[in-house]
Homo-oligomer: A and B are copies of this chain.
Amino acid sequence: MAQRLIVVGGDAAGMAAASQARRRRDRSDLEIVAFERGRFTSYSACGIPYWISGVVPERDQLIARSPAAFRNDFDIDVRLRHEVTAIDLTRREVVARDLDGGGEVRERFDDLVYAAGAVPLRPDWADTAAGGVFGVQTLDDGAALREWLDADPAPRRAVVVGGGYVGVEMAEALVQRGLSVTLVEQSDQPMSTVDSDMGALVAEAMRGVGIGIRTGVEVTGVEERDGRVSAVVTSEGPVPADVVVLGLGVRPNTALAEAAGLPLGPTGGIRVDLRMRVAGVPGVWAAGDCVETLHRVSGLPVHVPLGTHANKQGRVAGINLGGGYATFPGVIGTAVTKVCDLEVARTGLRERDAVASGFEFVSVVSESTSRAGYYPGARPMTVKLIAERPGGRLLGAQIVGWSEAAKRIDALAVALWNGMTVDEMTGLDLGYAPPFAPVWDPVLIAARKAVDALARAGR
């Protein structure tokens, strides 16, 4: 008799695991049932801001693979609008509620992949009866926001609460739609995903495209009129708003996992081993935004919800489930984004992370250009490096620039991944031609500057 795999959550991690398992085990060997409480499978949540802005015209462009494709091409029984409400590890079965039809189903499993993703941080004040307050975690969230924005008369004033990646990308999206946008951030600067010297460049660019930025401001509630939000109430007075978007970050979605007794780590994510097996629970796997993973530089567990990790982790779980061998080696915190034309990238540790981890280090900021200075289209680029002292091992890097900047973080990420020192990096053989780089690549210029800083610091 075939074994059964139950997948909880039909987005990137869950469906990557399911399809990798299917590649290695056919239906006579493994039945696969995937429960997804939303209406979509395998979509790009990271793409939602670009659909909201209209840069991506159609919602369905964000869907990598439809439920029908999973059914037909992978023989995976995908059940949409089914929310798993309980996992019974003793009886090895799950209970799922049919959100549309009503009623409950019970399904037994031999293996279970828990891929329930993350839930947005939602302050109490956001639970208002007033319309117009939106998260953008799921495609359903995005659809609701888009419908609100498309209404007639259209909202004119937007407040984005929180200045992380989602907040900044949503602020850009709303500006592109022609709204007047204010970003409200509790700390002293948005984009705290990079150090404050680099973040200041981002804030400046955001103001440059007309995004109002209010920092050091706490939101305490909303005002409403006729059942619709009319302002955000803050520690420094009200900010008018016809629409409010939450970008306060997310936490691992683990309520169900906790109830079932799956172990959580210090970050609140599910604890898994390198093969994505839930620690100490045979036959149960977890992947994606609900797990915690190893930061390879700090050595500490971290929670980094990002589609690329979710896909990789799901693939690793699926290969192992299918009888193959794969491990997920952890992360180094690489991330890229853009605010209109400004590109922002990071990898490894920020200064505050390096301090928190106990590293001693030097940090340098260098200015150069994306192309040879004389080549048309050359734009300024700022590269920051953080290097361990003594020794010079690269601990972190950040880039802010105007074009062709962000993806240069990859060379730095691979250098960091391999434990290179900034001294070694000065010799790297990177691509050079005038349309693509100065004869000293910005990465090499930064590495040289870090070497000099280490020398001055007595290494």
Contact flags A53-81 to B (C-beta < 8 A → 1, else 0):
00110000110100000000000000000
Question: Does A380 touch B at the CB level, under 8 Å?
Answer: no
Question: Does A436 touch B at the CB level, under 8 Å?
Answer: yes
**Given the known A-B contacts A44-B372, A44-B374, A61-B374, are A431 and B410 also in contact in the complex, defined by CB atoms under 8 Å?**
yes
Pick out which of these stretches binds chain B: A88-96, A142-150, A152-160, A325-333: A325-333
Contact check: which of B47, B332, B414, B441 meets A434 at CB < 8 Å?
Answer: B47
Contacts of A311 in B (CB 8 A): 439-440
Question: Does A272 touch B at the CB level, under 8 Å?
Answer: no
Contacts of A424 in B (CB 8 A): 329
| CB atoms of B413 and A410 under 8 A apart | no
Q: Which residue of B lies closest to A417 (CB)?
A: B428
| CB atoms of A431 and B406 under 8 A apart | yes
Question: Does A119 touch B at the CB level, under 8 Å?
Answer: no
**Alpha-carbon separation in the docked complex, A441 to B327 (Å):** 18
**Given the known A-B contacts A311-B440, A338-B435, are A376 and B56 also in contact in the complex, defined by CB atoms under 8 Å?**
yes
Contact check: which of B62, B404, B417, B432 meets A306 at CB < 8 Å?
Answer: B432
**Alpha-carbon separation in the docked complex, A62 to B333 (Å):** 38
Question: Does A308 touch B at the CB level, under 8 Å?
Answer: yes
**Alpha-carbon separation in the docked complex, A306 to B309 (Å):** 37
Q: Which residue of B lies closest to A64 (CB)?
A: B439
| CB atoms of B410 and A443 under 8 A apart | yes
Question: Does A365 touch B at the CB level, under 8 Å?
Answer: no
Q: Which residue of B lies closest to A58 (CB)?
A: B374
Q: Which residue of B lies closest to A343 (CB)?
A: B436
Contact flags A425-458 to B (C-beta < 8 A → 1, else 0):
0111111111111011101000000000000000
**Given the known A-B contacts A410-B411, A429-B347, are A439 and B44 also in contact in the complex, defined by CB atoms under 8 Å?**
yes
| CB atoms of B432 and A413 under 8 A apart | no
Question: Does A361 touch B at the CB level, under 8 Å?
Answer: no
Contact check: which of B331, B406, B411 meets A436 at CB < 8 Å?
Answer: B406
Contact check: which of B64, B306, B337, B428 meets A414 at CB < 8 Å?
Answer: B428
Question: Does A214 touch B at the CB level, under 8 Å?
Answer: no
| CB atoms of B404 and A334 under 8 A apart | no
Contact flags A92-103 to B (C-beta < 8 A → 1, else 0):
000000000000
Contacts of A426 in B (CB 8 A): 312
Contact check: which of B50, B61, B432 meets A307 at CB < 8 Å?
Answer: B432
- Report the minimal beta-carbon distance from A312 to chain B, rounded to whole angstroms: 7
Question: Does A113 touch B at the CB level, under 8 Å?
Answer: no
- Report the minimal beta-carbon distance from A263 to chain B, rounded to whole angstroms: 23
Contacts of A440 in B (CB 8 A): 308, 311
| CB atoms of A335 and B434 under 8 A apart | no
Question: Does A387 touch B at the CB level, under 8 Å?
Answer: no
- Report the minimal beta-carbon distance from A449 to chain B, rounded to whole angstroms: 13
Question: Does A213 touch B at the CB level, under 8 Å?
Answer: no
Question: Does A28 touch B at the CB level, under 8 Å?
Answer: no
**Alpha-carbon separation in the docked complex, A64 to B337 (Å):** 33
A residues whose Cβ falls under 8 Å from a Cβ of B = 12, 44, 46-47, 50, 55-56, 61-62, 64, 165, 306-309, 311-312, 327-329, 331-338, 343, 345, 347, 372, 374-376, 404, 406-411, 413-415, 417-418, 420, 424, 426-437, 439-441, 443
Task: For the complex of A and B, list the 5 residue pairs with the smallest distance between their C-beta atoms, beginning with the closest.
Answer: A336-B431, A61-B374, A410-B411, A308-B432, A418-B418
- Known A47-B374, A55-B375, A64-B439; further 14 A-B contacts with Cβ < 8 A: A44-B434, A44-B439, A55-B376, A56-B374, A329-B424, A331-B429, A334-B429, A406-B433, A407-B431, A409-B431, A410-B410, A413-B430, A414-B430, A417-B429
